[in-house]
Amino acid sequence: MRSARYVVLSLLLAAASGLAEEAKTTGAPKGARISIEPSSFDFGKALSNKTLTKEFVVKNFGTEDLVIERVSTTCGCTVASGYATSVKPGGTTSLRVSLQTRNYSGRVERKVAVKSNDPEKAIAEVTVVATVETAEHAPKD
């Protein structure tokens, strides 16, 4: 009985050791994995009727191709463009986000949602913020 337990315990330890070794050698999580840097950006003070643009980096840190299925924004004043719809493991693509300040006044915050095939984070979001001042309230140069 004791030797049977020893054999079972030895097999379990060997299997666990093999799994740990496999995890170490592969490094990347299984499947497509998305990250977007930075996760938010504050343009600071801006004048009305301007277009502000920021480039974000979308990275696939998984083991399979990342497929960007859809990119949506919370407002027609925000546009996301310039990205590849497929990113290889370890690869990146740029996501250019433009915010039109229009005739807004005060703090403006908009979100961009990136839907992908990442099984753990199907929707990744980035946020852009600006504090819009009218020309008569802007500081003079």
State pLDDT tens for residues 102-130: 999 999 999 999 999 999 999 999 999 99
* Residue 24, domain extent: 1-28
- The number of domains in the chain is 2
Q: For residue 28, give both structure tokens.
A: 């990347």
3-class SS of residue 125: strand
3-class SS of residue 129: strand
> What pTM does this model have?
0.76
Same domain, 18 and 41: no
Same domain, 68 and 101: yes
Same domain, 47 and 21: no
Same domain, 21 and 40: no
Positions of the chain with pLDDT under 70: 1-28, 136-141
